[in-house]
Amino acid sequence: MRNVIVVGCGRVGSRLAGMLSDNGANVCVIDRKAEAFNNLGRNFNGSTVQGLGYDEDTLVKAGVEDSDVVAAVTESDNANLMVTEVASRLYGVPHVIARLYNHDHERA
């Protein structure tokens, strides 16, 4: 079973978390706003953590040390890049994905 953290629980993050969970992944969703978790729906069987996705304490609560994948899909390119940097460099997460709106950031 894969352990996945999804940072951002908007339209994209909630759908991604739901699909991964439905396919057997152990999913934890991080969002800074508690009300964002309402987007997950009733059938979501993963966990949630309120906080900033690039904050080390928040990531540890979400299980970053045992995660196979971290997907950062907030509305902020900078936040998404920070999440992936922290997850990959500090915690050695093997697969990190950042949703980017500005294609100039792809080289980061």
Q: What is the DSSP string of 16-45?
A: HHHHHHHTT-EEEEEES-GGGGGGG-TT--
CATH code at 3-107: 3.40.50.720
pTM of the model: 0.94
Tell me the pLDDT tens digit for each residue of 36-78.
999 998 889 999 999 999 999 999 999 999 999 999 999 999 9
Which burial class, exposed, middle or buried, applies to 57 when counting CB atoms under 10 A from its CB (0-12, 13-18, 19+)? Answer: exposed
Rounded CA separation 73/90 (Å): 19
pLDDT of residue 108 exceeding 60: no
Give domain limits for the chain. Answer: 3-107
Tell me the pLDDT tens digit for each residue of 1-18.
699 999 999 999 999 999
Give residue 107's pLDDT: 60
